[in-house]
Structure 1
């Protein structure tokens, strides 16, 4: 491995294109920590930054045969990392959109403490009620309502008809309405959020 130490990225990438594990390890040691700190500066959480680094180098290894030797490898790495970070932000935004909308609907001028307590209570109850559903129904509901995945795509993923997916969502909504009516009538505000999607 010592023969690689003085080598440039260009030589290491050339070796990596031949599936050289040592070259891959050398590049990881050279850039892994830099990518981690770069990702951490955006994501603020170490575990998420580590996931970005792993994702970047997994992509490098997967695409090793088509790596270009005439461009900056460092720029290539950081471009992948930045795109992954943006996707992470977008994914979080979509998953949490229903919570942000719920905040707006619950904000009716009450004092901040009461508002925060009610908001957290509704979210806690919602998560609990969803967890009580049959596994398949729960998965379908979460993918459609929280992740915003189209019905057709969900149907293809589960190998069922779009009608079956719609029926599962309808049953899930009925169940949530019933549970909120039983335990937290005020929490029914959330239904309008889900029905929009």
Structure 2
């Protein structure tokens, strides 16, 4: 029987056993759909191609341990996570190369220090598990998957705690945003729009 007529799960079984032709069939079957999904999110042709390529490279590298029952859902979820990772990397690059004006006023420096203090105090008010997950994800740049493996809890639980921490911090810091001006709020809204929708 030719690989092209096999079901997704049959192809996964063959891929698990080092069958590169089965992998090629799966790649051809889903590449375009994943590319369209990534392109709709990123509006960037090259980045979308790179994201889809990474998904299939990861799939092949982990072939021996694949446990996938719903291939389309798995690949679509992987695409969404890769898009989020790409956005995070882009934002991190922008922050690293952000030039702080040398004529920054003492008042601006105090505002930033105040914000850091307010954020730190707010983080301390989070429930312990939520706080630990927030720190691992936002301050130590650990992925949801890495945190789930470390803490031995489901990825959905990690995502829930991250969402809860962001909601809490937005609510807790809203008075600070109002008193300090709109710039910080605009940045955080940009961050939320691009990474959490």
The TM-score, its normalising length taken from structure 2, stands at: 0.48
Larger radius of gyration: 1
With normalisation by structure 1, the TM-score equals 0.48
